[in-house]
Structure 1
């Protein structure tokens, strides 16, 4: 009965975590859209019109109101709201994830390995599709002000696509293999091991991914993040801002290592 209750609780935590993850992803995409709207409003022609209206507002002594200023302020307000909401829902995801990790002290290794793997799969999915970095290229022009020249919001999967489209096939393949395909295969395999732990094949799976994990996680993730930053074109001023996708992927790295250890201990106990 206790085992069934724990299974039900863990299933509920994973579902809630998935819901919060969807909300975080949605808010991150809305932040991206509102930023793109702001970028269009700060292109050179739009910025010139904005500056002209600002001067007219100043010289009119309050009789003329710059409608573009009001619109821009509204966009900035919405943009900040979406960013705060994305971070808030990401915090909720991490809280649910922490509760699942704490369950390792309250349930058997087999159950924890399965649900820990399931939780890792959830955060990995959001880590692949949610923007992890936004890069804004802007320049200050005399009389016009700050003009945004380009804006890019990149997820890990989107960065692989961009690298392949720009001809960097080898680099794109390395990131695709070690930061996407192997993590997906590893997580699914660990969940499979928890279901059929009696199979001799299970020991080979855990041993293989313990070896591969040393090369496929943190250092390659750092390289992937740097490549995302470096793929943006240079200009006078570049502003890179970390987004919530980075936290999802980092959470996956940590959880997958713990689940790997759990699976290894589970099989060692079975052998003993």
Structure 2
């Protein structure tokens, strides 16, 4: 019985972590273009973004990448909300057949909750571009003078607080559901 209460408590804590996990930035991405001619350097930002899960879904939707937007929305927002609501409903329907049916349904969609982990993995893959730099040197002549022009771009990315909140949500949600379900099925 203690596992049931502990599982429910962990689910509620996970919900508290879920909200900032989808609202706060998961990562920041900065990209700069640099041009160097002799001793003069010109720097221009190309991309300077902080993206949360919600902002990513919005941006993908605006860019008409609807399938990706819907998948991220479904797996990272909709399914977790439904799962948490069902755990709460099951908890209030103590020791009933409804509780068992709800937990059975949660178990069946539980496989899809691994998609949360997939979303985090995708964000980590994006972050792996950290410090990627390209550069190209061109030489040209003006009035008989040879000049070297160095053009480079640099990509920097950092993990945001939303990443930690969302990762903690994923782990606590899985643990809470597991503990709760263990008591209902026994």
Give me the TM-score of the superposition, normalised by structure 2.
0.76
1:140 is paired with a residue whose SS is strand
The answer as to whether partners of 1:133 and 1:243 remain within 8 angstroms in 2 is: yes
1:125-174 CA-partner distances (Å, limit 9, x unpaired): 11000101100010222213443222010000110000000010111001
Higher relative contact order (CA 8 A, sep 6+): 2
User: What CA distance in whole angstroms lies between the structure 1 residues aligned with 2:124 and 2:6?
Assistant: 30
How big is the shift at 1:228?
9.1
Greater alpha carbon shift after TM alignment, 126-135 vs 191-200: 191-200
Counterpart pick for 1:241 among 150, 158, 180: 158
Q: Is the 8 A contact 1:113 1:190 kept in 2?
A: no
Is the 1:132–1:242 contact (alpha carbons within 8 Å) kept by the matching residues of 2?
Answer: yes
Question: In 1, Cα distance between the equivalents of 2:127 and 2:73?
Answer: 13
Displacement of 1:263 in angstroms is 1.3
1:186 to 83, 99, 103: 83
Partner SS state of residue 155, structure 2: strand
Task: Pick the structure with more helix per residue.
Answer: 1
The Cα shift of 1:199 comes to 2.4
Is the CA contact 1:123–1:248 (under 8 Å) kept in the aligned structure 2? yes
- After the TM superposition, list the runs of 4 or more consecutive aligned residues in structure 1 that deviate by more than 4 angstroms: 224-230
Q: What RMSD, in angstroms, separates the aligned Cα atoms of the two structures? A: 2.4
Instruction: Say if 2:22 is the partner of 1:128.
Output: yes
Aligned-pair CA distance for 1:195: 2.1
Query: Is the 2:8–2:177 contact (alpha carbons within 8 Å) kept by the matching residues of 1?
Result: no
8 Å contact kept, 1:109–1:262:
yes
- 5+ unaligned residues in a row in structure 1: which ranges? 1-106
Are the counterparts in 1 of residues 87 and 103 from structure 2 also a CA contact under 8 Å? yes
1:9-88 equivalence runs, <5 A: none
Task: Give the paired residue count.
Answer: 159
Q: Deviations over 1:24-65 (max 9, x none)?
A: xxxxxxxxxxxxxxxxxxxxxxxxxxxxxxxxxxxxxxxxxx
Alpha-carbon separation, structure 2, partners of 1:261 and 1:136: 39
Alignment TM-score, normalising by the size of structure 1:
0.53
